[in-house]
Amino acid sequence: MMRNWNYVVWPGWILLFLALELSGLWGLTPWTTLSEFSWKLESEHWLIHAMFFGFLIGLCIHIVFKGPMWSTQLLGLVIALGAHLVNRNWP
């Protein structure tokens, strides 16, 4: 019974996401696309940029090494913050 709901819920989320993204892309709504919004946030706040970068690093570590999600995300954040500090203080 639960498996039948998967065919309704997940395509529904995809359709909702596409409707929001495309309407933002075509200027039909007052909001922008998710990528434009995240780019604006990342350019204004270094911490959000580091957190997003750390999430991607942690996700790669999780996929490649099959580690627990929380510890790989924490490692990704540490790597991203360390890279930010090195980059900021590099001569």
Residue 46's pLDDT is 87
> In sequence order, which ranges of the chain are alpha helices (DSSP H)?
2-25, 34-44, 46-65, 69-89
Question: What is the model's pTM?
Answer: 0.66
Residue 3 has pLDDT above 80, yes or no: no
Q: List b or e across 41-67, with b for residues whose CB sees 16 or more CB atoms inside 10 angstroms.
A: ebeeeeeebbbebbeebbeebbeeeee
Distance between CA atoms of residues 42 and 17, nearest Å: 21
CA distance 20 to 32: 9
**Could you state, in order of their start, the residue ranges of all structural domains in the chain?**
1-31, 45-91
What's the confidence (pLDDT) of residue 16? Answer: 95
